[in-house]
Amino acid sequence: MFKKLIPIGLSFSLICGVQIPVFAGEVLNQIKTAGIIRAGYRIDTPPFAFVDNQGKPVGYSLDILELIRTHTQEQLGKPIKLELIKIDTNNRFDKIKNGDIAIECGSTTVTWERDKIVDFSVSYFASGTQMIVKKGSGFANSESLVGAKIGVIPKTTNEKAMKTFAQRANLIPVTSEEEGWQKLQKGEIDGFAGDGILLQALKKQGDKSNSYEIVPEFPYMIESYACTLPENDSQWRDIVNYSIVKFMQGVVTDTPSAIDIYDRWFGETGNTPYPIETMADYFQGIANGYEWILIKEQY
């Protein structure tokens, strides 16, 4: 289906270090010594990271973390486990900075301001700031939002986008996507602004999902998701990037294991359907900047 890939890949090396707190160049030795990758995850952002009916953390981001764990294990030559640590929008970057976790893969948007305090991997998904509103509300552009009550999670890129593109709306702070969705259904707000792909997942949860829509058609601001990493540790970042780029190469070249991961979360019968053609083009654009990775499963 997607056989147009230009050769891609990465090279990387390993160096040593010490236990947390994490300083430049020390993450891999910490992982090797402990045999553990401490990874942050959120419980409320399907299809990226959430808890299933059995209380187990699952999601697209968790599958990406598993690919990173497997590749790290191969490079270090010893068994490596994932230790999942709950985080939220308020503490996710502090957890990285303080060395509590070595990585966080979720619906975290890359921004220049955040890049001053943490590093990012290559992007592994893209969405954009939109709103979920009652169908037919007419809240499709900034002019129609004058005086409207729009829920946002403070200190997020979604809040920044709404402050920029809907300056005359009344922004109502909420603590999570779930709270914003509940307030909308109760009529306490006129809309909830968030990442479009997360809003699609929320919409699926409602008994009257057909009564709501996601607007505008083209997002106010594009959101590129990436894993958050400690500053100035290129060896660890290279291993993470290699794992992600290999997965993206797998998607655009129809490698079964990569397609299975994508379909599980974004396929027609997945958690939150999203056209693979669209995301394959996005993956292609990123992967083209790297050397070809030989995928034995393919050949």
**Taking a C-beta distance cutoff of 8 angstroms, is the pair 248, 262 a contact?**
no
pLDDT of 254: 93
- Decide whether 27-126+225-287 matches 128-222 in CATH topology: yes
| Rounded-to-integer distance, Cα 297 and Cα 71, Å | 15
Paired with 271 in beta bridges are none
Number of helices (H) and strands (E) in the chain: give both, helices first: 9, 12
pLDDT of 119: 97
Range scoring the smallest mean pLDDT among 69-73, 167-171, 225-229: 167-171
pLDDT of 204: 83
**Which structure tokens are listed for 140?**
């499709």
| Rounded-to-integer distance, Cα 169 and Cα 38, Å | 40
Number of other residues whose CB lies within 10 A of the CB of residue 200: 21
Paired with 227 in beta bridges are 105
Model pLDDT for residues 98-144, shown as the tens digit of each residue? 999 999 999 999 999 999 999 999 999 999 999 999 998 888 777 78
User: Which one of 3.40.190.10, 3.40.50.1370, 2.40.40.20, 2.60.40.10 gives the CATH number of domain 27-126+225-287?
Assistant: 3.40.190.10
| Rounded-to-integer distance, Cα 299 and Cα 288, Å | 20
Higher confidence at residue 61 or residue 218?
61
* pLDDT, the chain, mean: 88
pLDDT of 298: 59
| Rounded-to-integer distance, Cα 93 and Cα 119, Å | 10
Q: Which residue has the tokens 């970042």?
A: 237
Architecture in CATH for domain 128-222: 3-Layer(aba) Sandwich (3.40)
Burial class (CB in 10 A: 0-12, 13-18, 19+), 291: exposed
Radius of gyration of the chain (CA): 20
Domain ranges across the chain: 27-126+225-287, 128-222
The CA–CA distances, whole Å, from 256 to 114, 152, 247, 249, 295 equal 35, 38, 11, 11, 11
Burial class (CB in 10 A: 0-12, 13-18, 19+), 250: buried
pTM for the whole thing? 0.83
Phi and psi dihedrals of 162, rounded to 5? -70, -35
